[in-house]
């Protein structure tokens, strides 16, 4: 039967590839680990020749050497390389030790294959589990990326619990299309939507003509659902040169996440418990009120109230009242892994319960994972990942509004002599100087998001054909990402701004339900062919198919009955449904040629079609090509040289960014007029021939290594252009449309990325690892086929982004005394001058100290929190005099005097230096554990860690990291009274048994 099978397979593919067989001195045996597990696919090479083979799935090998004695060199991913002198033919079994630097060795770059780091022509960065969550558990998975990669800019949109981050790879890649990278977890295309809860019905943030309504709802993004503790490795493909193989969705980069898997052997249990608290990074404090200042700003009756309150000791810092809480955090992780030769598993449970710095906000998550690998036949390998997540976040009511109702906006007008606390019966007084009482809003408003999510990925690897010189694998895979998200926002009728007498809606209940289903199917053929003179060819052929389907229903009920929250218990009910459906299909072919590890060249092309394009069946091609030259493999210097690595590399690739859903349509929307249904245009004209944005990236780099891995350096320069930029350009409004979506521009990013990693000290007792990275990006709009336009903020009076040919894509302009020919003056740029990070790991015996500093230098924000506070006379630095060049006006009056004549004061430098992560751990020595539970405990670790413990910045608000319009925009850094950011302190205990 088995023989039959082999024949069958050989017959099937023999005609495709030539096959060579030689009869020589044969050495055979098994390669296994210390624990006795076989090491499959290890390379076995006769030293000094190009002769070699690989072990089969059971670790068996057989090699014919030219002469004896010979030296075999056995290497495999994740293991220390073994050299074994063999004097006679016969059986030689070899044991390999697991490598400490296993993760550095190989990087996943293709859809189906990986490549040795030393052979990669791209600067692909990867981090391991230890770097992801080893120092301190990151609040969300994307939060674990801060400072650990060059070229990766992460921005937190707000401090609300449950996430909300944007990740930008190598500059702005799209103006109005998707700017967020593609996330792939174990082969599954994972959705990262931010779904708005419909709060605009109350905040009216989009009134006054700002159409970005849904973006201002402070929604979280769905990558927050992944449990950082489950992740084994993260790789980031930053641009098209590396990501071309991912085609039309890869222009913003690809984040490849691999979760942990079991290893055969004894079952290992890991339990980690962290407990701690979170508190605001930076509170601004009260204005320095005096009677005369109050009289001056607020008038006579306020001055009297102030004096009375002062004499009664009733001056209340409402900022501290609202944002001064310490939120308790608890994170529990439990995992179990193990298996045997054929079946391996990893299972984990994680439970997070995190309270925010504002009362009644918080985040709760339960994550269950089961990863399974099974090898039913020696030629078949099955892999399955499943993840279930249940999360719930209470996000409060923040960000911009036009109704004076959000907590943040109201706080800017709340003076400390007001009495806003409830009376003995729990009745809150109306705020006499604003539309809402922020304490009442905090205590009565609910804004909750609940997610139930199931992510499942599976793959089958089939060895169709294998000889010592060539192999053919078929890899079939699929992934499914299904979730339901519920948003529930409740504004009870007793709220000040809901009372009809105050013009309120008498209670609002907004219920949103989203069903999301993504699935992807893929199949690849990988052929490896090794010639006698050590030239390897690897050919890949594959096809992918993607389906995305999202359906959101939002019900808004106003005029609630009694204290009901059901949407049918209301005077008025409105329903809104939004569906998004995309189908994509792609194929690729790639050839990789490796000449003796000296020259490694890759050529490939991907073709893609998408239902979002004007013509859904037009195929768009994305080519790639790269070359790496390993100079230290040329024998220029001898074996014991201090040079470990000297590689120069160049890579070129193209990738796409799909057009926005619905961008090709000019459609009606339905409305009603006093009970009569009607359909009206909404002012947006679609483009029937809309196509992908196309990114072209060229990257050069050099990698150096010295002193046995003690010093390594990586430097990269890239030029990345984005053609066919999808823009919403302004149309003459008399057409009936105000904007049109079209492919109408081109931009360019150029940048440097440098990384230096060293091990200055490495003794038996003491280890010090130090890494520093630096990166810088500049962008320019190189072509604009539409008129220059302002975007991403609240207009030129207050400072805005402006897209203009020949300028930076992220320039900030505004009205000002010295306008250029465009009529505006440039006051800044959101792009940082550079970013750096310093990573330290110090180990002394059983003590371990790790810390990561991150420095963003330059880059500007538009700070409107300060403006709103100034308008209300409440800013903490209102009376300080250090802005007015003439030295007469306080900062508040000075900024107000500029309102309407210059936007300069609203555009502020947003540099920062942060101690992003700090961890201090003590591993209990084995001798104390031996007696416990009969020695069943393998390790106990105790520790303390923190996130954002030190934050240094000049920016005049809560945090320079902010985005009123959420994450999926190139234009972050606009601040309107956000949820303040927080720092976190945690204590840990971890037990392995």
Partner 1 sequence: MKNYIYKISFFIALLVGTVSCNIEEIVDLNGPESTAFAESLTRGDLQDLIGGVLYSSRLRLGTYYDDCGVIGREYWRFSGSDPRFTTDLLGGQNSVLDNNTFYITGPWASRYRTVKNANLILGFFDSQDLSGQFTQQEVNAARGLLNTFIAYELLLNLNLTNEGGIRLDVSDENNLGPFVGRTAALEGIQSFLTEGASQLNNGGGSFPFSLTSGFAGFDTPGTFRQFNRAIAARVAAYQGNSGAVLSALNESFLSLNGDLNTGVYYTFSQDQTDIANPLFISAGGSSEAQARIVQPLFVSEAEAGDTRVAGKTIQLGETITLDDLTGDYIVNRYTSLTDNIPIIRNEELILLYAEANISGNSGEAVNALNIIRNSAGLGNYGGGTDSASLTDEMLNQRRYSLFAEGHRWIDMRRYNRLGDLPLDRPDDDVWSEFPIPLTENQ
User: Can you tell me which of 683, 709, 939, 990 binds partner 1, judged by CB under 8 A?
Assistant: 683
Q: Tell me how far apart the alpha carbons of residues 490 and 497 are, in angstroms, rounded to a whole number.
A: 13
Q: How many residues bind partner 1 (CB under 8 A)?
A: 94
What is the DSSP track for 455-524? EEEEEEEEEEEE-SSEEEEEEEEEEEEEEEEEEEEEE-TTSGGG-GGGT--S-EEEEEEEEEEEEEEEEE
CB atoms within 10 A of CB 12: 12
Compute the least distance from the CB of residue 903 to partner 1, in Å.
14
Window 504-533: contact mask with partner 1 (x via CB under 8 A): xx---------------xxx----------
Residues between 601 and 630 that touch partner 1 (CB under 8 A)? 609-611, 616-617
Compute the least distance from the CB of residue 664 to partner 1, in Å.
8
Q: Tell me how far apart the alpha carbons of residues 957 and 906 are, in angstroms, rounded to a whole number.
A: 11
User: Can you tell me which of 238, 685, 728, 802 binds partner 1, judged by CB under 8 A?
Assistant: 685
Q: Tell me if 14 contacts partner 1 by CB under 8 A.
A: no
CB atoms within 10 A of CB 444: 18
Residues between 907 and 926 that touch partner 1 (CB under 8 A)? none
Residues between 431 and 460 that touch partner 1 (CB under 8 A)? 433-435, 460
Compute the least distance from the CB of residue 739 to partner 1, in Å.
9
Q: Tell me if 804 contacts partner 1 by CB under 8 A.
A: no
User: Can you tell me which of 10, 73, 462, 629 binds partner 1, judged by CB under 8 A?
Assistant: 462
791: helix, strand or coil: strand
Compute the least distance from the CB of residue 460 to partner 1, in Å.
8
User: Can you tell me which of 349, 698, 731, 949 binds partner 1, judged by CB under 8 A?
Assistant: 731
247, 131, 272: which is closest to 184 by C-alpha?
247
Q: What is the DSSP letter of 214?
A: G
User: Can you tell me which of 57, 541, 580, 761 binds partner 1, judged by CB under 8 A?
Assistant: 580
Residues between 135 and 174 that touch partner 1 (CB under 8 A)? none
- Across the strands, what pairs with 693? 657
Residues between 848 and 877 that touch partner 1 (CB under 8 A)? 871
Q: CB-wise, 737 or 834, nearer to partner 1? A: 737
334: helix, strand or coil: strand
What is the DSSP track for 397-458? S-S--SSS-SHHHHHHT--TT---S--TTSPPPP-TTSSS-HHHHHHH-EEEEEEEEEEEEE
Distances (CA, A) of 70 to 39, 67, 80, 289, 544: 22, 7, 20, 87, 45
User: Can you tell me which of 901, 935, 954, 987 binds partner 1, judged by CB under 8 A?
Assistant: 901
User: Can you tell me which of 267, 290, 308, 735 binds partner 1, judged by CB under 8 A?
Assistant: 735
Q: CB-wise, 575 or 847, nearer to partner 1? A: 575
Q: CB-wise, 155 or 585, nearer to partner 1? A: 585
Q: CB-wise, 475 or 915, nearer to partner 1? A: 475
Compute the least distance from the CB of residue 585 to partner 1, in Å.
6
Residues between 654 and 673 that touch partner 1 (CB under 8 A)? 662, 665-673
Q: Tell me if 763 contacts partner 1 by CB under 8 A.
A: no
Q: Tell me if 416 contacts partner 1 by CB under 8 A.
A: no
Q: CB-wise, 616 or 709, nearer to partner 1? A: 616
Tokens matching residue 802: 């402006």
Q: CB-wise, 90 or 503, nearer to partner 1? A: 503
Which residues have CB under 8 Å from 810's CB, separation 6+?
A: 172, 779, 801, 829, 830, 831, 970, 971
Is 650 buried (19+), middle (13-18) or exposed (0-12) by CB count in 10 A? Answer: middle
Q: Tell me if 16 contacts partner 1 by CB under 8 A.
A: no
Residues between 367 and 386 that touch partner 1 (CB under 8 A)? 377, 380
Compute the least distance from the CB of residue 410 to partner 1, in Å.
10
103: helix, strand or coil: helix
Tokens matching residue 23: 């009869």
Compute the least distance from the CB of residue 94 to partner 1, in Å.
31
Stretch that binds partner 1, among 113-121, 499-507, 702-710, 762-770 (CB under 8 A): 499-507
294: helix, strand or coil: helix
Q: Tell me if 40 contacts partner 1 by CB under 8 A.
A: no
CB atoms within 10 A of CB 253: 26
Residues between 464 and 483 that touch partner 1 (CB under 8 A)? 474, 476
Q: Tell me if 818 contacts partner 1 by CB under 8 A.
A: no
Window 77-116: contact mask with partner 1 (x via CB under 8 A): ----------------------------------------
Q: Tell me if 300 contacts partner 1 by CB under 8 A.
A: no
Residues between 544 and 573 that touch partner 1 (CB under 8 A)? 544-545, 556, 558-559, 571-573
Q: CB-wise, 4 or 91, nearer to partner 1? A: 4
**Cis before residue 69, ω within 30 degrees of 0?**
yes
344, 398, 82: which is closest to 219 by C-alpha?
398
Q: What is the DSSP letter of 208?
A: G
Contact status, residue 435 vs residue 405, Cβ threshold 8 Å: yes
User: Can you tell me which of 37, 279, 378, 583 binds partner 1, judged by CB under 8 A?
Assistant: 583
Half-sphere exposure of 778 (CA within 13 A, CB side): 6
Q: How distant is the alpha carbon of residue 886 from its chain centre?
A: 45
Residues between 784 and 803 that touch partner 1 (CB under 8 A)? 787, 795-797
473, 407, 393: which is closest to 437 by C-alpha?
407
Q: CB-wise, 48 or 733, nearer to partner 1? A: 733
Q: Tell me how far apart the alpha carbons of residues 873 and 892 are, in angstroms, rounded to a whole number.
A: 7
């Amino acid at each position: 039967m088995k023989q039959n099978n082999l024949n069958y397979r050989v017959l099937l593919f023999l005609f495709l590839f030539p096959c060579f067989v030689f009869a020589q001195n044969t050495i055979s045996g098994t390669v296994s680990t210390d624990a006795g597990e076989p090491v499959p696919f290890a390379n076995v090479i006769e030293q000094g020749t190009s002769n070699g083979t690989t072990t089969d799935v059971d670790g068996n090998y057989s090699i014919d050497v030219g002469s004896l004695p010979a030296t075999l060199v056995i290497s495999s991913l994740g293991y220390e390389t073994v050299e074994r002198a063999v004097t006679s033919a016969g059986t030689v079994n070899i044991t390999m030790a697991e490598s400490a630097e296993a993760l550095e060795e190989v990087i996943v770059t293709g859809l189906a294959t990986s490549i040795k780091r030393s052979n990669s022509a791209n600067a692909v960065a990867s981090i391991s589990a230890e770097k992801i969550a080893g120092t301190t558990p990151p609040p969300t998975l994307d939060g674990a990326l801060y400072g650990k990669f060059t070229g990766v800019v992460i921005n937190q949109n707000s401090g609300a619990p449950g996430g909300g981050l944007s990740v930008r790879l190598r500059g702005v890649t799209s103006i109005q299309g998707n700017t967020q990278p593609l996330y792939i977890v174990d082969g599954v295309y994972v959705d990262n939507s931010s779904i708005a809860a419909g709060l605009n019905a109350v905040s009216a943030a989009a009134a006054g003509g700002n159409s970005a309504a849904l973006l201002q709802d402070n929604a979280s993004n769905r990558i927050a659902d992944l449990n950082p503790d489950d992740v084994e490795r993260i790789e980031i493909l930053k641009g098209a040169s590396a990501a071309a193989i991912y085609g039309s969705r890869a222009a913003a980069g690809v984040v490849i996440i691999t979760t942990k898997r079991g290893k055969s052997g004894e079952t290992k249990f890991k339990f980690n418990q962290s407990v701690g608290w979170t508190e605001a990074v930076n509170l601004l404090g009260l204005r320095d009120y005096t009677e005369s200042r109050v009289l001056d700003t607020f008038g006579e009756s306020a001055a009297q109230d102030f004096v009375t309150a002062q004499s009664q000791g009733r001056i209340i810092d409402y900022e501290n009242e609202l944002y001064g809480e310490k939120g308790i955090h608890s994170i529990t992780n439990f995992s179990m892994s193990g298996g045997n030769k054929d079946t391996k598993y990893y299972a984990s449970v994680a439970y997070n319960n995190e309270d925010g710095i504002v009362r009644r906000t918080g985040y709760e998550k339960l994550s269950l994972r089961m990863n399974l690998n099974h090898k039913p036949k020696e030629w078949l390998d099955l892999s399955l990942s499943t993840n279930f997540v249940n999360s719930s976040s209470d996000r409060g009511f923040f960000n911009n509004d036009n109704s004076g109702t959000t907590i943040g906006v109201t706080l800017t007008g709340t003076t400390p002599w007001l009495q806003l606390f409830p009376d003995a019966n729990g009745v809150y007084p109306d705020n006499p100087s604003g539309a809402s009482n922020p304490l009442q809003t905090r205590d009565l408003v609910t804004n909750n998001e609940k997610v139930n999510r199931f992510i499942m990925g599976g793959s089958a690897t089939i060895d169709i054909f294998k000889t010592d010189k060539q192999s053919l694998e078929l890899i079939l895979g699929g992934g499914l990402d299904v979730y339901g998200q519920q948003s529930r926002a409740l504004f009870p009728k007793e709220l000040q701004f809901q009372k009809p007498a105050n013009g309120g809606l008498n209670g609002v209940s907004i219920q949103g339900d989203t069903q999301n289903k993504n699935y992807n199917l893929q199949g690849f053929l990988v052929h490896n062919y090794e010639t006698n003179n050590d030239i390897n060819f690897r050919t890949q052929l594959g096809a992918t198919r993607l389906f995305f389907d999202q359906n959101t229903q939002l019900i808004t009920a106003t005029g609630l009955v009694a204290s009901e929250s059901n949407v049918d218990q209301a005077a008025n009910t409105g329903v809104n449904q939004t569906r998004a459906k995309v189908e994509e299909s792609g194929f690729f072919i790639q050839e990789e040629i490796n000449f003796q590890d000296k020259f490694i060249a890759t050529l490939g092309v991907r073709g893609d079609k998408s239902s979002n394009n004007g013509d859904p069946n037009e195929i768009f091609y994305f080519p790639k090509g790269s070359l790496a030259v390993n100079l230290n493999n040329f024998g220029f210097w001898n074996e014991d040289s201090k040079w470990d690595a000297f590689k120069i590399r160049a890579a070129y690739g193209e990738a796409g960014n799909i057009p926005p859903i619905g961008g090709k349509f000019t459609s009606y929307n339905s409305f009603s007029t006093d009970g009569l249904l009607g359909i009206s245009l909404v002012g947006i004209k679609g483009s029937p021939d809309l196509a992908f944005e196309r990114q072209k990236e060229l990257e050069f780099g050099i990698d150096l290594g010295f002193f046995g891995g003690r010093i390594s350096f990586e430097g990269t320069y890239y030029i990345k252009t984005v053609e066919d930029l999808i823009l919403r350009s302004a149309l003459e409004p008399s057409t009936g449309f105000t904007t049109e979506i079209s492919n109408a521009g081109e931009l360019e990013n150029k940048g440097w990325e440098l990384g230096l990693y060293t091990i200055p000290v490495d003794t038996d007792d003491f280890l010090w690892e130090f890494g520093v990275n630096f990166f810088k990006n500049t962008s320019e709009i190189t072509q604009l086929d539409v008129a220059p336009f302002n975007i991403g903020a609240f207009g030129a009076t207050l400072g805005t982004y402006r897209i203009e040919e020949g300028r930076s894509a992220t320039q900030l302009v505004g009205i000002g005394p010295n306008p250029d020919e465009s009529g505006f003056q440039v006051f800044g740029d959101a792009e940082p001058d550079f970013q750096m990070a310093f990573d330290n790991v110090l180990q002394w015996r059983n003590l371990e100290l790790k810390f990561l500093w991150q420095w963003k230098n330059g880059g500007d924000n538009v700070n409107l929190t300060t403006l709103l506070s100034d308008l209300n006379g409440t800013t903490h630095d209102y009376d300080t005099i250090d802005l007015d060049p003439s030295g007469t006006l306080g900062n508040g009056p000075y900024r107000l005097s500029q309102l309407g004549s210059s936007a300069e004061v609203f555009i502020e430098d947003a540099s920062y230096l942060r101690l992003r992560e700090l961890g201090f751990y003590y591993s209990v020595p084995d001798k104390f554990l031996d007696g416990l539970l009969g020695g069943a405990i393998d390790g106990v670790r105790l520790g303390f860690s923190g996130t954002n413990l030190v934050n240094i910045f000049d920016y005049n608000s809560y945090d320079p990291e902010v985005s009123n319009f959420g994450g999926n925009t190139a234009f972050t850094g606009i601040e309107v009274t956000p949820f303040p950011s927080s720092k976190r302190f945690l204590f840990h205990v971890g037990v392995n048994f």
